[in-house]
Amino acid sequence: MATPLQASVRYYRRAITKVLWVPTIANKNAPTRAELDAGTELSVEVGAMAGWQTTSETVPTPALGSRFTPVVGGAITAADSSLTFWASKDGDDIRQVLVREATGFVVWMDEGDVPAQTMDVFPVTVTSQAKVRELDAAAQIMIQVAITSEPAENVVIPAAATP
């Protein structure tokens, strides 16, 4: 008999997930605690998010000797991605941090900033600061990004530096 999958410990994302903007990471596959601490935590102002996942295409590999067409893994792509923030009436908001053409890393710590848990590191360039204009909603700014290279996924979060 097959071993059953262990039951997951389910959680509600709000107040747990951390999103960081980190201007510089030397190795996206192993960010240091100092690099992460030098970033800006965005979670407190994020009102919505879209994208932030990778997908793999498949490539058909037909053979004359069979009517079945098998496939192999192909190109890996990332969805168009954005973060939507609350706008401030005085303009002192995300527009001061994520300016158009800024390059850096968006770091997702889905289970929180907990050493030994995992994070995803997305190398990005900010492409726009779109003002979301709706009649009956609080003002927001949507930051759209281009994901510039393959994200590092399931990277172990480093421990805090010891004093």
E strand or H helix that includes residue 140: strand 140-147
Please check whether residue 126 lies inside any domain of the structure: yes
pLDDT, tens only, 71-91: 999 999 998 999 999 999 999
- pLDDT level of residue 160 (50, 70, 90 thresholds): confident
Please check whether residue 127 lies inside any domain of the structure: yes
Please check whether residue 163 lies inside any domain of the structure: no
Domain of residue 37 covers: 18-54+75-156
pLDDT, tens only, 5-62: 999 999 899 999 999 999 999 999 999 999 999 999 999 999 999 999 999 999 999 9
Q: DSSP E strands: which ranges in 13-139?
A: 18-22, 40-41, 46-50, 54-60, 71-78, 81-86, 103-109, 118-132
Please check whether residue 11 lies inside any domain of the structure: no
Please check whether residue 9 lies inside any domain of the structure: no
pLDDT, residue 162, reads: 59
CATH of the domain at 98: 2.30.110
The model's pTM is: 0.91
**Domains of the chain: total:** 1
